[in-house]
Structure 1
Amino acid sequence: MRQPPSIWPSSLRGINALDPPQKEAIYFTLIPDWVYTRFGIDPLTHTINGKKVVHLRAPENSRAMELSIFHHPEAEDPVLYLNMADSLLGQLMVLLVVMNDTESRRYDVDRLPDGTPTNLGTSCRNIEAELEAMRDGLAPGQIRRGLRGFRQSVPYFERFVESMHHDMFLIEPLSYHNAIVFERYGFGYTVGRKEMERIHREFQPGGELYTQLDGSTPFRHPDAWRTVRGRSWAIHDGILGHPFTGFHMYKRIYHHANVNTFPDAVW
């Protein structure tokens, strides 16, 4: 595999304009070393037993990229999925990052029994699958247990961002628990911190959200306010009165923002 160029473009669109070997050399620096060793992926060919398991989608003239890594050539779900794009202001934005423990049970929260996509419960919901996932300790949107590799992967991403001549990147948490996790890894808010603090306040005994934890649905258990996961399921169930959207977070590389909107949080 070719080495990345010494000077990188400062945008994904610029990287996508490079010839395929250079483009791959840059994007594959995002793959942590532990992924290769844990899943037996050849770091030179990105294959397992000669079959490709690392897939990159980064078309020329596009401002976005997708990287999918599978533990087996025939696997249904990736162990790692990353989707990034250039923002309109030229900043690097993470649209989605997923790490799946593909050896764990799958919960079909992403599709109805007839195969209709749920968009992870944002357009429609597979309630039965969500109940099973919740009872088994998963959070909203999780189709499998997490791989627990995000912390080890952040340094790779920060070096990637630095090589693109940026000092920060953006991310939009899709769920309440995502925002709390990102806080723990050093992210701050460009938009939404006051709302996160309000949510925490209203989940306290006597608060507006606390009083709605009335057991009217399985996702609104009276004790849900005590945990990150419990709150996230209640919010996913509509307790806010609107979807969990409009939150924007940032991470300045090699810097921890020290934001904590759920003090002494229990997962």
Structure 2
Amino acid sequence: MSTVDLTKQARHPPPLLEDLELYSIKQVNALSSEQRRQIFYHLVPLDVLLRLGIDSETLQDEQGRPLVAYRPSDASGELFLRHRWDAEDPVLYLHLADTINNQIEVLLFTVNDPDSERFDVDQLPDGTPIHFGTQTRNVAEEIRAMEAGLAPGQVRRGLRLTRDLIPILEQFVTGLHHNAFYIQPLAYHNAILFERLGFAYVIGLGRMEWIHSAFAPGGLLYQRLNGSTRFRRPEMAHSVRERSWAIHDGILEEPFTGVKMYKRVGIHAGVITFPNAPW
């Protein structure tokens, strides 16, 4: 396997971006497939490749099959990293897009520990896919996942990569001549995690502050933690992950929406809506 300098990735945008005047995902997608590869594969944390035993130069397995793939569309793109060519779940999935205001947005990213147990919260017992945030749920698998320490939407335990990925995304958007990027957290725990990583709110700060106050003793959401389901036990008011499960269970009586956040390059916003919170 190639020897790599992990510090290089922490200092510079993708090298090709330093040589080109590009400002959008759409412009990057218009490049040749090899140029796109050089740019987007730089988003894969190098220490993850080392941990998984993936050659950092070829990004292929021993049979020459690709383990990293980029799927472009007009103004967005999806990056996949798998530990095996035929793996069911990617270790890393990242979906980036241009916004109508010419900003860069992370539409979705997921991280999975390939060696951990899988919980089929994303499908019904008959295999029918479930899209996160819809009314359809596999409650039995959700209970198993919750009791195993996972948060809503997780099919496997994570790899604790998010903290490593944020500076890499900062380098990427810097290479596209932006000083910030945007994200819409799909769940309460995502928003709290992004706060801890230095994000601020475009919209939704008041909503997050209200949720925190409503989970306090005597608050509306605290009163709804009445034990009516496994996701609504009174003690679930006290941790980020368990609050998120209660919200996923519908305790807000409306979807968790209306929250958008941004990360300014090199700046930690210091926003805290759930002080001293255990995860």
**One fold, TM greater than 0.5?**
yes
> What residue in structure 2 maps to residue 144 of structure 1?
156
Report the Cα offset of residue 44 of structure 1: 2.0
> What residue in structure 1 maps to residue 4 of structure 2?
none
Matched, 1:245 2:250: no
> What residue in structure 2 maps to residue 155 of structure 1?
167
What is the identity, as a one-letter code, of the residue corresponding to 1:27?
F
> What residue in structure 2 maps to residue 65 of structure 1?
77
Relative distance call for 1:172 and 1:121 in structure 2 (3 A) is closer
Structure 2 distance, partners of 1:139, 1:153, is 19
Report the Cα offset of residue 97 of structure 1: 0.8
Secondary structure of 1:198's match? helix
Secondary structure of 1:4's match? helix
Structure 1 distance, partners of 2:171, 2:258, is 28
1:154-202 Cα deviation digits (max 9, x unpaired): 2211111100000000000000000000000000000000000000001
> Aligned match of 1:224 in 231, 236, 239?
236
Q: Residues 67 and 84 of structure 2 are in contact (CA less than 8 Å); yes or no, is this contact kept in structure 1? A: yes
What is the identity, as a one-letter code, of the residue corresponding to 2:273?
T
Structure 1 distance, partners of 2:179, 2:58, is 31
Structure 1 distance, partners of 2:197, 2:76, is 24
What is the identity, as a one-letter code, of the residue corresponding to 1:53?
L
Secondary structure of 2:16's match? coil
Relative distance call for 1:8 and 1:125 in structure 2 (3 A) is farther
Any gaps of 5 or more consecutive residues in structure 1?
Answer: none
Report the Cα offset of residue 21 of structure 1: 0.8
Q: Residues 189 and 244 of structure 2 are in contact (CA less than 8 Å); yes or no, is this contact kept in structure 1? A: yes
Secondary structure of 1:25's match? helix
Report the Cα offset of residue 7 of structure 1: 1.9
Structure 2 distance, partners of 1:227, 1:3, is 41
Structure 2 distance, partners of 1:168, 1:197, is 23
Write the mapping of 1:177-196 to structure 2, written as runs, cut at 5 A.
177-196=189-208
> What residue in structure 2 maps to residue 52 of structure 1?
66
Structure 1 distance, partners of 2:273, 2:21, is 36
> Aligned match of 2:47 in 22, 31, 34?
34
Structure 2 distance, partners of 1:19, 1:148, is 33
Secondary structure of 1:83's match? strand
> What residue in structure 2 maps to residue 119 of structure 1?
131
Aligned length: 264
Secondary structure of 1:48's match? coil
Structure 1 distance, partners of 2:246, 2:260, is 21
- RMSD over aligned CA atoms reads 1.2
Q: Residues 212 and 274 of structure 2 are in contact (CA less than 8 Å); yes or no, is this contact kept in structure 1? A: yes
Q: Residues 41 and 68 of structure 2 are in contact (CA less than 8 Å); yes or no, is this contact kept in structure 1? A: no
Report the Cα offset of residue 123 of structure 1: 3.8
Structure 2 distance, partners of 1:72, 1:228, is 32
What is the identity, as a one-letter code, of the residue corresponding to 2:20?
I
Q: Residues 8 and 15 of structure 1 are in contact (CA less than 8 Å); yes or no, is this contact kept in structure 2? A: no
Report the Cα offset of residue 115 of structure 1: 1.5
Report the Cα offset of residue 87 of structure 1: 0.5
What is the identity, as a one-letter code, of the residue corresponding to 2:49?
Y
What is the identity, as a one-letter code, of the residue corresponding to 2:168?
Y
Structure 1 residues 104-113 or 28-37, which shifts more?
Answer: 28-37
Structure 2 distance, partners of 1:108, 1:121, is 15
Structure 2 distance, partners of 1:31, 1:127, is 33
Identity of aligned residues (%): 50
Report the Cα offset of residue 3 of structure 1: 5.8
